Structure 1
Amino acid sequence: MSLINTEIKPFNATAYHNGKFVPVSSEDLKGKWSVVVFYPADFTFVCPTELGDLADHYDTFKSLGVEIYAVSTDTHFTHKAWHDTSDTIAKIRYPMIGDPTGTITRNFDVMIEEEGLALRGTFVIDPEGQIKLCEIHDNGIGRDAKELLRKVQAAQYVANHPGEVCPAKWTPGEATLAPSLDLVGKI
């Protein structure tokens, strides 16, 4: 069953954020746009490249009213240790949620049960707590923050412009489509 347009399931966790351990719950993801990025583990290879890329684009996400949450099945203590020892991870200013029980990872259906690790899953959540984008792929394939940013902008545009949709490769300022009988077979 697809997670698209479903409400996020309840969770409570601890995150490492701005030098502190802070509580984070499913309720924190509501009332604003959120991006939840699952990754397999701290102190690995592809993960820091992705999280660093998100850190480099964080101000742009924030300017759109979007908070980013990184989640792995590591503890918040491990997130702090990684933040303290890696120049790439030290750039991160968004919450890094610890999910050692796998509750959140299972809620988003990205748990690799036999390994106790998450797949690379990306979820865009609207202010009502509904999942609007879900991308899950093999752990050997890194993600691109610029492409995610474009998808967030498209999701926000569609939410703010009922009756319009964003075609492939759409970027802000480009033409959208208004689905109608007149367009059938003409695109």
Structure 2
Amino acid sequence: MSLIGSEVKPFSASAFHNGEFVDLTDANLRGKWSVVCFYPADFTFVCPTELEDLQNQYETLKALDVEVYSVSTDTHFTHKAWHETSETIGKIEYVMIGDPSHVISRNFEVLNEQDGLADRGTFIIDPDGVIQTVEINAGGIGRDASTLVNKIKAAQYVRNNPGEVCPAKWEEGSATLTPSLDLVGKI
């Protein structure tokens, strides 16, 4: 069953954010756009490259009224230790959620039950808490956070312009489509 169009399921978790431990719930994923980025584990190899790349896009995402949350099945204590010992992870300003209970990873259907680790899943969630995009990669394939920016702009455009859709490779300011009988077979 696809998670597209479904509401984020209830959860509560502890997280590490800007030098402090914070408590979060699914309510934090409402009221503004959110990106939830699952990764397998702290102190690994591909994960820090992805999280740094996401940090490099963080200012751009915040300018689009998007908050970023990274999630692994590690604890918030582990996130703090990684933040303090890795130059790469030490740059991160967004929230790092711990999911040792696996509740959030199961809710988003990214938990690899055999390993007890989350798959590489990226979710864009609208201000109503509804999942708009899902991307899941195999463990050895890192993601490119720059692609999130155009996806979010497209999702925001479609939300703000009912009846219009964004074609492949759409960029802000380019033409959109208005689905109708007149377009059938003409694209």
TM score, norm. by length of structure 1: 0.99
Q: What is the rounded CA distance, in whole Å, between the counterparts of 1:19 and 1:40 in structure 2?
A: 22
What is the identity, as a one-letter code, of the residue corresponding to 1:10? Answer: P
What is the identity, as a one-letter code, of the residue corresponding to 2:159? Answer: A
| Partner residue, 1:9 | 9
| Partner residue, 1:104 | 104
Match status 1:146 vs 2:146: yes
What is the identity, as a one-letter code, of the residue corresponding to 2:175? Answer: A
Match status 1:174 vs 2:169: no
Shift of 1:46: 0.6
C-alpha RMSD of the superposition = 0.6
What is the identity, as a one-letter code, of the residue corresponding to 2:110? Answer: V
| Partner residue, 1:50 | 50
Q: What is the rounded CA distance, in whole Å, between the counterparts of 2:140 and 2:166 in structure 1?
A: 29
Question: 1:54-133 to 2 correspondence within 5 Å?
Answer: 54-133=54-133
Q: What is the rounded CA distance, in whole Å, between the counterparts of 2:147 and 2:68 in structure 1?
A: 15
Shift of 1:4: 0.5
Shift of 1:129: 0.5
Q: What is the rounded CA distance, in whole Å, between the counterparts of 1:153 and 1:105 in structure 2?
A: 26
Q: What is the rounded CA distance, in whole Å, between the counterparts of 2:52 and 2:150 in structure 1?
A: 18
1:73-112 CA-to-partner distances (Å, cap 9, x unmatched) read 0000000011001111111100000000100000000000
| Partner residue, 1:37 | 37
| Partner residue, 2:25 | 25
TM score, norm. by length of structure 2: 0.99
Match status 1:164 vs 2:183: no
What is the identity, as a one-letter code, of the residue corresponding to 2:134? Answer: C
Q: What is the rounded CA distance, in whole Å, between the counterparts of 1:126 and 1:147 in structure 2?
A: 17
| Contiguous gaps of at least 5 residues in structure 1 | none
Shift of 1:158: 0.5
Q: What is the rounded CA distance, in whole Å, between the counterparts of 2:118 and 2:181 in structure 1?
A: 43
Identity %: 67
